[in-house]
Amino acid sequence: MTRPLGMLAELTYECPLHCPYCSNPVNLGDYRDELTTAQWRRVLAEARDLGVLQLHLSGGEPLQRRDVVDIARTASELGLYTNLITSALGLSARRAEQLRDAGLDHVQISIQAHEAAMSDRIAGLPSFERKVAAARLVKKLGWPLTVNVVLHRLNLDRIADVLALAEQLDADRLELANTQYYGWALRNRAALLPSRQQVERAEAVVRAARRRLAGRMEIIYVLPDYYDDYPKPCMAGWGRRQLTVTPSGDVLPCPAAQVLPLPRASVREHSLAWIWAESPLFQRFRGTDWMPEPCRTCFRRDIDFGGCRCQAFLLTGDAARTDPVCVLSPDHEIVAEAVRAANADTRPVSDVLTPRPHPRDAR
Ligand code: SF4
Ligand code: FES
């Protein structure tokens, strides 16, 4: 068994934005009981003892937690490399300085598109200008900056403009994250899934930008898995390198695993070390023994680990099946059909999106 290197701490599901591809659970109203500051301190200490090196403070919007500076300070004192994953709403100059003084190492800001009208429409809130101002503040305070843009049918054709924006902001790293179809994104898949032509054009733009910006800006771009032959090695394997702690203290092998019908594991009841090493949840899909055919005898089983358990469950109802993205999966037709629909000449031009609600409105 390996040790976890990274932990995603989802401090809260509160968020002022309404992104239609949000990876938070669709039953947001069920999550009210957030861990206290003292409980987070204990979890971070246990994470460090377990071997975690990188901590990602996320949500929802982590800046909605009043104690985010205290939590960042605790992480820094424990020696964790700490990254704030934020929409930047709430990152005032004062708060940013407090976070810097607390020892926060890195900031990742999500922006929804290359310009205000589209970005604000996707975010469901006027926010673009504030994000740009916050990105400049991050650089001014000397932090490394990652800009994250979730890509989909509505913004993929503007990828050159997204690259130009990241350059203007002097981002050290640009994460071009093709939408993953879980949670809210799966609900909105018909409007979000791009066409093959869009994907191919975007890839060519990214290849050229990587050459041009080599040594100045790192560009992360992974092909959308619906257009790949084989699935992604989700989380680098179940219970292998990463763990997620949700606002209410559940511990998960990946951020989307709340949907899976598996036994829960919570820091309210167990130590992180026990959950990682012994809980039925973390053991369920660890390694390769759980695999069905065709994964069991496949040459790629130690490369992609059978793909994504959450995608398998959401598309087939069984988390133990081969990820349907894989061309070898007996369920591949489910993905092929969605791809055909996204490429059909008769595809209705649908840009109607179901926005993620605010948690209090979901209760
Ligand atoms: Fe990966 Fe399984 Fe497909 Fe082989 S059959 S490529 S292991 S998902
Ligand atoms: Fe849960 Fe891939 S997102 S295993």
**pTM listed for this prediction:** 0.93
Which tens digit of pLDDT belongs to each residue from 190-210? 999 999 999 999 999 999 999
- Nearest Cα residue to atom 2 of ligand 2: 308
Say what the pLDDT of residue 222 is.
84
Mean pLDDT of the 14-41 span: 87
Say what the pLDDT of residue 30 is.
72
Pocket of ligand 2 (CB under 6 A): 234-235, 254, 256-257, 308-310
Does 22 appear as a known binding residue? yes
- Contact present, 65 and 9 (Cβ < 8 Å): no
Which tens digit of pLDDT belongs to each residue from 237-282? 999 999 999 999 999 999 999 999 999 999 999 999 999 999 999 9
Report the candidate in 11, 10, 20, 247 with the shortest Cα–Cα distance to residue 125: 20
Least confident of 22-26, 44-48, 106-110: 22-26
Query: 191: exposed, middle or buried (C-beta count within 10 Å: 0-12, 13-18, 19+)?
Result: buried
Say what the pLDDT of residue 360 is.
67
ipTM, two decimals: 0.93
- Token code pair at residue 336: 């092929």
Compute the distance from residue 283 Cα to the ligand 2 centre, in Å. Answer: 14
- Nearest Cα residue to atom 8 of ligand 1: 306
Question: For all residues of the chain together, what is the average pLDDT?
Answer: 94
Query: Does position 339 have pLDDT exceeding 70, yes or no?
Result: yes
* 15-29, 36-50, 219-233, 347-361: which is most confident: 36-50
Supply the DSSP string of 145-197, one letter for each residue. Answer: EEEEEEE-TTTGGGHHHHHHHHHHTT-SEEEEEEPP-SHHHHHTHHHHPPPHH
Say what the pLDDT of residue 363 is.
57
Query: Does position 359 have pLDDT exceeding 80, yes or no?
Result: no
